[in-house]
């Protein structure tokens, strides 16, 4: 049981890191201006600079949401609700969206007070769904459900 618990924690850590990188690439690409569209009178940052600037808050959102808060949320969900069918998927998705909101509030208070509150919420909602998707893929790969009747 301890081995499975450690494996689940490592899956959450790896999923948090990957979701931070994927989300940072996505949001940096949305901000980036290609060379062909740049004005000569305006100074632009390269993609690496935008990536580095955006990585720190998105990484903190992922770390707060992933390995720190998601095990607590998982424990609450699995103890409180009977997870079967479509209802279970909706409960998990909405709980991870709520988890993303909580981590966005924490990160916005740490980094900028309330000036970038709504941008952190949008980033965190996107990041929570990427985290959930990556986590479920890793859990499926490492803990494949066995056939019925097998030990």
Residue-wise pLDDT for 39-67, tens only, equals: 888 888 888 988 998 898 889 888 888 88
Q: What pTM value is reported for the model?
A: 0.79
pLDDT of residue 18: 94
The full set of domain ranges for the chain reads: 2-36+45-142
Give CA–CA dist 71/20, Å, rounded. Answer: 18
Question: Over 60: is that where the pLDDT of 106 sits?
Answer: yes
Q: Which helix (H) or strand (E) holds 107?
A: helix 85-111
């Amino acid at each position: 049981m301890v081995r499975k618990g450690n494996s689940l924690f490592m899956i959450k850590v790896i999923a948090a890191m990957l979701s931070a990188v994927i989300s940072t690439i996505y949001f940096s690409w949305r901000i980036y201006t290609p060379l062909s569209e740049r004005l000569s009178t305006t100074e632009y940052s390269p993609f690496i600079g935008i990536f580095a600037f955006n990585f720190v808050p998105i990484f903190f959102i992922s770390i707060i949401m992933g390995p720190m808060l998601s095990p607590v949320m998982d424990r609450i969900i699995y103890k409180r609700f009977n997870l079967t069918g479509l209802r279970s998927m909706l409960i998990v998705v909405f709980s991870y969206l709520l988890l993303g909101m909580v981590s966005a509030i924490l990160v916005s208070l740490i980094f900028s007070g309330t000036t970038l509150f709504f941008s952190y919420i949008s980033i965190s909602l996107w990041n929570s769904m990427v985290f959930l998707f990556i986590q479920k893929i890793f859990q499926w790969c490492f803990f494949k459900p066995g056939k019925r009747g097998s030990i």
